[in-house]
Amino acid sequence: MVNNYFDLLGEFVKGDFKNRYKNSILGFLWMLLKPLAEFFIMYFVWNALWRTENQTTLFLLSGVIFWNYFNDGIMLGFQSLLNKSGIILQINFPREVVIFSATTVALINFVVTLVIILVFAMYTHTTFTWAGIGLAAFSLITLNILIITASFFLSIWGVIVKDVRHLVELGLRIGFWATPVMYDASLLSPRVQKVIKLNPLSYLLEGFRTGLIRGHEVTGADYLEILKLLGIILIFTVIGFLYFKKSVKRVAEFF
């Protein structure tokens, strides 16, 4: 029906950012300032507490920004239908645009923090390789698809049953520690490692981190690992999309 799909997506994303930084003196500069401040806080705290070396700091930071991206993406995607309920109740448009715009907002925020990390990595003389950059990008694209897939389900459930919100928040807390964000998975006991391996995020974080920090170690096997995961996720993406399209027709009755 609507042939202005991308215009609509663009307007939603633009509106979201404009709304957030409107009437502030620094405006869009906050997009850069906030992650930069967060970076320095983490950098100095870790340095003061544990005298972390730059390589360790980079390891932790890459984990933290990866996790924040996932966390934001899920929360925004989950709330996307609720946040646009005013429009959904008034007019019929392809509802999935709402999910894509929420995910795009999270992605844009992430890219800004990524730039900060990249500058820091260059400062610590990390050597980038094309294979590494490719693997990191591939992992992030897969993560993005994972977020969209989860949003297809969560956004609907969140409208129908309000309890889902608390479950999602709790799940994210558990997920943070079930993903090797703040620790090195290879240092864990083999049994715990097996559990961690059940978490798809651990593969994606591993791919992102290895590609970013240890680019020269990247092999074809690393790509294959992510590719397999992507295959599984895509099955759920298709199911999720069909489920979303079917359920969203009734969603206006639940607001």
Partner 1 sequence: MKSLIKKIKKNGDKAERSQNAIEINNVSKSFFVPTKKKDTLVDYLKHPKNIFKKKSDGKLLVLDHVNFDVKKGEFLGIIGNNGSGKSTLLKLISGVYTPDRGEIIINGSLVPFLQLGVGFNPELSARDNIFLNGTILGMKKKEIEKEFAEIIKFAELERFIDLSLKNYSSGMRVRLAFSIAIRSKADIYVLDEVIAVGDANFHEKSFREFERLRNQGKTIILVTHSLGVVRNFCDRTALIDQGKVAKIGDPDEVVDFYEDLNRQRLSNPNLVNNKKR
Q: Which residues, in sequence order, are CB contacts of 77 under 8 Å at separation 6+?
A: 99, 102, 103, 106, 147, 148, 150, 151, 154, 155
Structure tokens at 163: 């309890």
- Which residue in 24, 92, 127, 219 binds partner 1 (CB under 8 A)? 92
Interface with partner 1 includes 25 (CB under 8 A)? no
Residue 228 vs 250, nearer CB to partner 1: 250
Measured distance CA(197)–CA(206) in Å, rounded: 11
Interface with partner 1 includes 15 (CB under 8 A)? yes
Which amino acid is it at 34? K
Measured distance CA(29)–CA(36) in Å, rounded: 11
Residue span binding partner 1 (CB under 8 A) among the ranges 5-13, 25-33, 123-131, 187-195: 5-13
Sign of the torsion angle spanned by Cα atoms 8, 12, 13, 18: positive
Q: Tokens 């705290």 sit at which residue?
A: 45
Interface with partner 1 includes 127 (CB under 8 A)? no
Judged by CB under 8 A, the number of residues near partner 1 is 26
Interface with partner 1 includes 43 (CB under 8 A)? no
- Which residue in 7, 53, 184, 217 binds partner 1 (CB under 8 A)? 7
Interface with partner 1 includes 10 (CB under 8 A)? yes
Judged by the rule CB under 8 A, the positions of this chain that interact with partner 1 are: 1-4, 7-8, 10-11, 14-15, 18-19, 22-23, 86-93, 249-250, 252-253
